[in-house]
Structure 1
């Protein structure tokens, strides 16, 4: 018996951990490369199958060493296996996403031990590819590994418009292809690795790896193929690969989805494996649920393949109970955020704010801040948001050259002025966050930037026992700013559950829902709806109501399907409690409409065994919602229908 270990490296050399949240909206600790260490040698796949002494490859020292158990295979048999696999795992076939080092080590682990490599390495390509950044980068990566046909243009599409994206891609490609680069840092403490970049497909070349796949995944789709000698196999292979990308296992959705595997009869023990399962023709597809084969298709029938995959996922992950309720009004709710887009007379706003600045004690920083607003900020806002700005194509966008001094000026002015004097400045940022470029810049540090500063100031103002008109104006404008932040999902996620905002957004929203001023409550209810709608968009992108897997995930919807937005119930519990209490007290029809719509979004497809479900019962949410039907102020038919349907959804 010989020990088998998995060496884990980060192909990005730390760039993924530093930049992933900014680029993808998710924290990715590394882009993992793995190798197998057994019989005193490290074996890995890049420029074909390569061998070195442990820790002596061009990747340097591993970040993690994982024990995979022991093998009963002798060294001679292992070397014969590697010799045979050399013809399959060639340099020409390498692809960063679809056929990589982790595909190889998973197959080798199956051969050696009958087990597999950890799921954080092998099961997460769809999470990366489902983000807007991953979807945008996919064509570039594909083109890097595609051989052009004679006469074909060879231009490579550029990566997304961020220099850091190019740096990350170049670092990963250099490492993955075995090119010398800066060695990895010395060994560190084991990572709490939860994200990776690997293949949506799991090649199986032997019975052990195939049976391990079936045993360790609830739903498995197997494609038996003779790629070299079967034209129908070549025809349907791209469809199978696309389905694997769309419906593969995602950790962000609780491990839901199917594992997709391809068995080529001409590779390794693929022919023996096909005989074991009674495959007599190619292509053949088999479908496994909880380790048992439940269906089989012979032939390249695309429609039937899609149907059987959907049926498998339906059985593996039954629909949410809400999917069967008759709630047409809830289903028709637009999940687009409620935005406050009115453009005030910007010169008047500037003049009013300058008067506030001039009334404060004079300082060099406030004088400089006033100049930034006058010469840079207001001209930008007028160019983008003034009534005649729509005639400009394209609209001017904010750049770091503008945003950096504006943010510094904001910090200086918040320190120098009273809260009630700041609302014109907040109103300027309210417009700016509607500019995707400004919102993306703010998302890099949501809690530390101007939006976080304003939300904390509003929270503190609401905590005061008395509030004057100026404080009310500030809170109202801050709420509208926060509502507008939801136009850009990555900024909204950072403010709600990014860990940087110190609970300031909810700390502002919750007391504002019970504010004495109707305009403040309306803005707060709008913000509550935007937050709740973001949760429903995330659940819908994850397919929570349709067997747990999204059938056609678009990059935008998948960008909203951040794991934190779906899984972190702590802030959702606070929001839900506040909405139920506010609904019970509220008499205004417009505010009730927005609150009940927010409640509908939090209720729809929520986990039936989570904190939210139990909390609704404790709060008596059904009675609270249905009680609004007795309120004389609730007269509109669409509002009453929504209230009736949401009441039926409450436990």
Structure 2
């Protein structure tokens, strides 16, 4: 069970810095930031020691901004133990506004960064933790410091200007109406490209948490007075970018966590003493929480060699990495799509006739006329703007707005519940076209009631009741699922879904049955969907590093897919295209799989090698077997390299 972690952001100048910083300093500064962490129903912050209150009830009032820092698997009791330890470091006398810029003081943002790092492994936004030193060192900044400290540590949020603030400019700033304080600054995106790859360790608690959450850790012990440290630091950061997980990514396969520990900073010296570090630069390498190696000095080649050796120990290469299988490695991972443009007016007319012939159930939210209006007046113009018929004039593009997609999904749900199964295919075909729009796919990935769920659930209910799903319903739904893999975020969501009753589960049931369908077009669409699934899984393995270590992949699900593909291959005697898609799917599912031993045993039990070789013989697929040279070669390699005798 996880708990959300929030960051509350306050501007200690209450919007005045945004208004007047440019004229006073020559720089645009949007605020002097105070932050607190909100977790387990409490707001925790640092000022006059570590304080705790109900969220939004501190003397700072309402936060200017609330940022999502992710979720934590740490329980409240463990976090309370952590806070008790932190109280020995974050004391009232150590507080200083310039905590980020000094070696002996702490501020609220130091504290919040440590808490977020402990809870999630992530970090607070750079624009908060890296408040420019040159601004805070100006006469204006120095003049503001006692006022800001008073505002932070004082009991009330009164904006009154203390006598120490020099008039007129600073006084005007502090007395200005805080009309801009509620304007949110640029939102922090923890997945953005600017994420750091280096953890800055402030105390032993955070470092121990890092060791606990990462299989491999590279720790760089440095100091501000060490010239060799400054020389090797860029190389350390380069290695972190190349071989390190971004801050907040826990145990990403094929990577290490890179940590910088400045012996001059706060309680970080305690970490150095624990590992007997007396000189800088020193690099210590950790494997599974224990010290695994050490290097002193600024040898770039030595550092790179030690990092590579640590990664080899932590993430041994997958045995398939040694295989010479260019036929598999060169398979294009682009999804198979069905992009044919249908006559939209014709399918809309057909759908309208089906709706008119149906009797709406009593109490339904929308009438038949309202449902037809939604399709014809909102959905159809959008689809036409994106799918101009050959020779017809192009139309201005219409965006798929969330409001339109929500209405369309509701209409689809109501129609599926009232129309016979064989009358729904025009509606699904419209969604099939829309799924070629990445904006639609992205919306579907975030929607709790997506059209994919609506149509797949209906198919699952029919299967459970022993009702034959009409061929047109199955075919168009398979093609819609094909197109859903055009949107990477939706494809990743589908293959990672863990719900027992959800898109992946229902899709798999439809796929397994469709691979054995008597209709060649259905089998072709199903084989294409199997390929899209396998390609998406393979892409994720490449992102994760393709190592042989632990993985979050669902072994049982992949066993089900491989079994279905082998059975379908055994039965497929006519379509070389279907055979090609299924063999490519099989190769991608097995290649680099963390469960390759289990899948190898399964392939042996199912006599996969024999089945694959039969596709090459006369009568195995057409009169002369598979004839295309590239497909024959792929079959031969898959049988020889992945299928035991």
Give TM-score scaled by structure 1 length: 0.67
Look up the match of 2:25: none
SS at match of 1:605: coil
Look up the match of 2:258: 260
TM-fit CA distance, 1:536:
1.2
Q: Deviations over 1:581-637 (max 9, x none)?
A: 111211221111111111112112212477545533433334433443333331111
SS at match of 2:439: helix
- Identify which of 428, 441, 466 aligns with 2:430: 428
Q: Deviations over 1:52-98 (max 9, x none)?
A: 479999689x9943248999x9x9x98588589767992669999x9
Whether 1:227 and 2:214 are equivalent positions in the alignment is no
SS at match of 2:436: coil
Q: Is the 8 A contact 1:381 1:432 kept in 2?
A: yes
Q: Is the 8 A contact 1:48 1:86 kept in 2?
A: yes
Q: Deviations over 1:320-368 (max 9, x none)?
A: 1111111111111111211111111212222222233333347972222
Q: Is the 8 A contact 1:315 1:547 kept in 2?
A: no
CA distance in structure 2 between the partners assigned to 1:370 and 1:99 by the alignment:
58
Change (3 A) 1:222 1:384: same
Look up the match of 1:457: 458
- Identify which of 5, 11, 21 aligns with 1:10: 5
CA distance in structure 2 between the partners assigned to 1:403 and 1:513 by the alignment:
31
Look up the match of 2:642: 649
Aligned residues: 529
Q: Is the 8 A contact 1:222 1:261 kept in 2?
A: yes
Look up the match of 1:542: 544
Q: Matches of residues 160-559 of structure 1 in structure 2 within 5 Å?
A: 201-204=198-201, 218-227=215-224, 230=227, 231-232=230-231, 235=234, 238-239=237-238, 242=241, 246=245, 250-251=249-250, 253=252, 257-268=255-266, 282-289=280-287, 291-294=290-293, 296=295, 298-299=297-298, 301=300, 305-306=303-304, 308-361=306-359, 365-387=367-389, 395-445=397-447, 448-460=449-461, 471-495=470-494, 497=497, 499=499, 501=502, 503-545=505-547
TM-fit CA distance, 1:311:
3.2
Look up the match of 2:175: none
TM-fit CA distance, 1:391:
9.4
Look up the match of 1:65: 76
Whether 1:90 and 2:60 are equivalent positions in the alignment is no
Look up the match of 2:563: 577
Q: Is the 8 A contact 1:249 1:257 kept in 2?
A: no
SS at match of 2:217: strand
TM-fit CA distance, 1:179:
12
Look up the match of 1:113: none
Q: Is the 8 A contact 1:247 1:258 kept in 2?
A: no
Q: Is the 8 A contact 1:420 1:473 kept in 2?
A: yes
Q: Is the 8 A contact 1:458 1:478 kept in 2?
A: no
SS at match of 1:66: helix
Look up the match of 1:591: 578
TM-fit CA distance, 1:259:
3.2
Q: Is the 8 A contact 1:434 1:485 kept in 2?
A: yes
Look up the match of 1:101: 112
Look up the match of 2:15: none
Change (3 A) 1:9 1:542: closer
CA distance in structure 1 between the partners assigned to 2:396 and 2:276 by the alignment:
61
Q: Is the 8 A contact 2:100 2:106 kept in 1?
A: no
CA distance in structure 2 between the partners assigned to 1:70 and 1:459 by the alignment:
49
TM-fit CA distance, 1:264:
1.4
SS at match of 1:11: strand
TM-fit CA distance, 1:400:
2.0
Q: Is the 8 A contact 2:335 2:535 kept in 1?
A: yes
CA distance in structure 2 between the partners assigned to 1:450 and 1:439 by the alignment:
11
Change (3 A) 1:347 1:70: closer
CA distance in structure 1 between the partners assigned to 2:206 and 2:375 by the alignment:
63
TM-fit CA distance, 1:105:
9.2
Look up the match of 1:639: 631
Look up the match of 1:51: 50
Look up the match of 1:155: none
CA distance in structure 2 between the partners assigned to 1:200 and 1:333 by the alignment:
32
Q: Deviations over 1:225-254 (max 9, x none)?
A: 113554436645754664575367844757
Q: Deviations over 1:254-304 (max 9, x none)?
A: 7x6423322213235756865886767644433334534435263273x76
CA distance in structure 2 between the partners assigned to 1:461 and 1:438 by the alignment:
27
CA distance in structure 2 between the partners assigned to 1:466 and 1:297 by the alignment:
72
SS at match of 2:245: helix
Look up the match of 1:170: none
* Stretch moving more, 224-233 or 513-522: 224-233
Give TM-score scaled by structure 2 length: 0.68
Aligned alpha-carbon RMSD (Å): 4.9
CA distance in structure 2 between the partners assigned to 1:289 and 1:621 by the alignment:
39
* Stretch moving more, 500-509 or 605-614: 605-614
CA distance in structure 2 between the partners assigned to 1:339 and 1:428 by the alignment:
15
Look up the match of 1:560: none
TM-fit CA distance, 1:429:
0.5
TM-fit CA distance, 1:10:
3.1
